[in-house]
């Protein structure tokens, strides 16, 4: 059985950030059949459906492609009601001037950062993890 973590320090100490391959973009679909685009994620907003798509899929579909992002998965099983992981990650990246978009899923949290700053973001998050693991 997977241990779900709720404590902020334990979540940060166990996050094991992993940079995933590829680039992603946030897009709006208008009247299109968004399911056919096989999004990584979708969210229905008042203005319409927002998608997170692989950059190549968005381009091939003729969607506007701006601000390519890299995906970093935090490999800790963070509880949906856990408090502090998102704040710690966003704060550490903000201090370095790196924008981030957090997406929480059932098992893990995912961080989207500008593609050109992905390696730097991973280093910052690994340093944060090490600091949280120290006695």
Q: What is the pTM of this model?
A: 0.92
Question: Which one-letter DSSP state was computed for residue 122?
Answer: H
Res 1: pLDDT: 60
The per-residue pLDDT for range 57-105, each reduced to its tens digit, is 889 888 888 899 999 999 999 888 888 999 999 999 999 999 999 999 9
The per-residue pLDDT for range 103-127, each reduced to its tens digit, is 999 989 999 999 999 999 999 999 9
Q: Cα dihedral angle (57, 62, 65, 68), rounded to 10 degrees?
A: 10
The per-residue pLDDT for range 27-59, each reduced to its tens digit, is 987 667 778 888 999 998 888 888 999 999 889
Distance in angstroms (rounded) separating the CA atoms of residues 14 and 132? 9
């Amino acid at each position: 059985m997977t241990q779900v973590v709720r404590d902020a320090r334990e979540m940060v100490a166990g996050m094991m950030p992993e940079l995933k391959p590829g680039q992603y973009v946030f897009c709006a679909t208008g009247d299109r059949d968004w399911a056919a685009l096989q999004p990584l994620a979708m969210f229905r907003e008042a203005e319409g459906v927002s998608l997170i798509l692989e950059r190549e899929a968005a381009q091939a579909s003729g969607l506007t492609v701006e601000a390519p992002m890299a995906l970093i998965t935090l490999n800790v099983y963070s509880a949906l009601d856990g408090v502090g992981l998102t704040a710690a990650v966003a704060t550490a990246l903000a201090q370095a001037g790196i924008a981030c978009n957090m997406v929480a899923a059932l098992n893990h949290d995912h961080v989207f950062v500008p593609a050109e700053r992905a390696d730097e973001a991973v280093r910052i998050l690994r340093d944060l993890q090490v600091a949280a693991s120290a006695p």
